[in-house]
A = this chain, B = another copy of it.
């Protein structure tokens, strides 16, 4: 194989995912935006088996914020999306939820899997998947340019309930130049299983967002003159459901600290 150092081949990419996961397993804590480009990143939520049906139904009823990419068997910590990975250790940062409240953030969830041996783990599509194609089309991703986390907001949009689960939709926001908004829509729409097209364009007040400078998760980014705030459904939505529904126990990724899979982004292109 010819080495092309500044443009890793598709064949080389899975190695980047594997190495990143090993670094997180060894204790590294950092947001995953821009890591292992070209490989799909996923949101994670693990719930006791008793809650798995309610959650899978919640996801089916709310496919824009909760597109399910894989579900582990109860008690397993493996996924077909990255057969070598260990879901207990290979994310950079986990959140632990008890009775609907954030209890702790930990870099290793092994002890929690021991505490709840029947956990079912859901991996959910992430809008990072279409950021590569957006950038290739010449659309700047402000949070990547600034080296920070994407800004995320809780909204007033109620998800459709399922069993004991309810909650509001969480969205991510990217400022897009007005003349590129249509391109951002059509490009992201080609990836329906990783949130797809935006859910809202241009009017944060209508979503119940009072101040774009104060995101509920992630980091604020500046909106320049001539740019429109564009909102995509976000895989942090399950964490809002955990809070709103008082779920007794859950483990999730920390926002922006995703699970990096071996699957090329192109798999989710339709």
Task: List residues of A whose CB falls within 8 A of some B CB.
Answer: 52-53, 56-57, 60-61, 68, 70-71, 80, 160, 189-190, 192-193, 196-197, 270
Contacts and interface: CB of A to CB of B under 8 A. Distances in A.
8 smallest CB-CB distances across A and B, nearest first, come from: A53-B53, A192-B270, A56-B56, A60-B68, A189-B270, A57-B71, A60-B71, A270-B270
A68 B56 CA distance: 11
A161 B68 CA distance: 16
A56 B60 CA distance: 9
A268 to B, nearest CB: 10
21 contacts: A52-B53, A53-B53, A53-B56, A56-B56, A56-B57, A56-B60, A57-B71, A60-B60, A60-B68, A60-B71, A61-B70, A61-B71, A80-B160, A189-B270, A190-B270, A192-B192, A192-B193, A192-B270, A196-B270, A197-B270, A270-B270
Nearest to A270: B192
Nearest to A59: B60
A56 B162 CA distance: 13
A206 to B, nearest CB: 22
A131 B197 CA distance: 24
Contacts of A193: 192
Contacts of A197: 270
A240 B176 CA distance: 47
A57 B70 CA distance: 9
A60 to B, nearest CB: 5
Contacts of A160: 80
A270 B186 CA distance: 9
A196 B68 CA distance: 17
A239 to B, nearest CB: 20
A56 B190 CA distance: 25
Nearest to A74: B163
A192 B63 CA distance: 13
A256 to B, nearest CB: 25
A154 to B, nearest CB: 24
A210 to B, nearest CB: 31
A184 to B, nearest CB: 15
Contacts of A57: 56, 71
Contacts of A80: 160
